[in-house]
Structure 1
Amino acid sequence: MPSRPGRICTELGCGKATAAASHYCPTHKAVVDARRAERMKGVHRQYNQKRDESDAFYKTEKWRKFSLYYRRLHPLCRECEAHGRTTASALVDHIKAYKTNPELAFDWTNVRALCKPCHNQVGERVGLSAS
């Protein structure tokens, strides 16, 4: 099957051909990639600064012990069990987020054991992944 023909570079004023999968010629692609990498460094730096403040609780000895003990008592992912699957739990999740309800940090009725894929899906459903 023949490959797709190249496009014209989308950089203003450039009329060079591009590779089939790219929107930029090799010269402008390097510039655009460098610009994107620099922008992402700032985004990651800002995210990580906020994360250290919000995740300090999860690094405490009290939370680690609580989490290990809870997972010993609940070795399977609650979401997977609800869907008929058997998956080992990987972490303990707060049902009502710790950021908004710190008083419920160690409340047994506010936590559940989840595997990582289910934790990521639950976060997306609740809208926590965007924060």
Structure 2
Amino acid sequence: MIRKLCCAPGCEELAPAGQAHCADHAAEAEARARSRKARAKAGAAAQAGAAFYATGRWRRARARFLAAHPLCADCAGLGLVVAAAEVDHIRPHRGDPGLMWDRANWQPLCRPCHSRKTAREVFHPPGGIAKSEGSAR
């Protein structure tokens, strides 16, 4: 396998095969990634009104919706038959009760599809990341 230079700026060490960073920079890169994920998760939970998902009303509505719509909408679009496990808000509700409870804004998704969609919304929001969160260029 071909080894490449560490991708840390200014580093001329070789990274282990299949890795992006040398041993010295791998821990730093992992810590930065964990920090980014934690900030994104905390921000998304705060924006989404996380307490909403813990209510009995939501849990009952979610169970009824999944019983009526048992297959993942994204997978079905690809011709796959995969059980839905999550109720996704098509348009993120950001705490807006109207969007939270609008069943036309709900879709059944499997966990991988829901995670992928949520990651896109959190890490690549429409209009880009806010300037305060993004890096200066």
- After TM superposition, the score normalised by the length of structure 2 is 0.61
Change (3 A) 1:33 1:59: same
Q: 2:40 aligns with which of 44, 47, 51?
A: 47
Equivalent pair of 2:5/2:11 in contact (CA under 8 Å): no
Change (3 A) 1:44 1:123: closer
Shift of 1:104: 2.0
Matched, 1:109 2:104: yes
Q: 1:96 aligns with which of 86, 91, 106?
A: 91
* Amino acid across the alignment from 1:47: A
Where 1:76 maps in the other structure, the secondary structure is: coil
CA distance in 2, matches of 1:75, 1:13: 51
Match of 1:72 in 2: 67
Aligned pair count? 120
Shift of 1:41: 4.1
- After TM superposition, the score normalised by the length of structure 1 is 0.64
Matched, 1:38 2:42: no
Shift of 1:102: 3.5
CA distance in 2, matches of 1:96, 1:38: 31
RMSD: 3.5
Equivalent pair of 2:71/2:81 in contact (CA under 8 Å): yes
Return 5+ residue gaps in structure 1 as ranges: none
Return 5+ residue gaps in structure 2 as ranges: 126-137
Matched, 1:61 2:56: yes
Shift of 1:107: 1.7
Change (3 A) 1:41 1:67: same
